[in-house]
Amino acid sequence: MLGEDHSLIHEFPEYKDAIAKLIQSSDTFANSVKQYNALDKEIRELELNGAPIDDEAMHQLKHDRAVLKDSLYQCLALDNR
């Protein structure tokens, strides 16, 4: 779906408290969340504006977002053990 919100809290609402805690306690996690949210915002804006980039570039942005989301999820899962 075009323009869909993939923010970290939207994707993992069950980890809302853990996300907030890790943002406060880990600069690395906080920076990764900022990067993830910036990528998500860029993708959403491109989709809503008719994606004025080629398909390969859009695919790369989505791939980068997915890789970062997986990494952030691993941090959340480890923190909640």
Is there a domain that residue 2 lies in? no
Is 3 within a domain? no
Q: Is residue 19 in a domain?
A: yes
Report pLDDT for 41.
93
pLDDT at 40: 93
Task: Please write down the HEC assignment for all residues of 2-56.
Answer: CCCCCCHHHHCHHHHHHHHHHHHHCHHHHHHHHHHHHHHHHHHHHHHCCCCCCHH
* The total number of structural domains that make up the chain: 1
Question: Per-residue pLDDT averaged across 72-78, rounded?
Answer: 93
Q: Which domain range does residue 39 map to?
A: 8-79
| 29 lies in some domain | yes
Residue 1 domain-assigned (yes or no): no
The 10s digit of each residue's pLDDT in 27-50 is 999 999 999 999 999 999 888 887
Average pLDDT across the chain, whole number: 90
Q: Domain for residue 43, yes or no? A: yes
The pLDDT of residue 4: 79
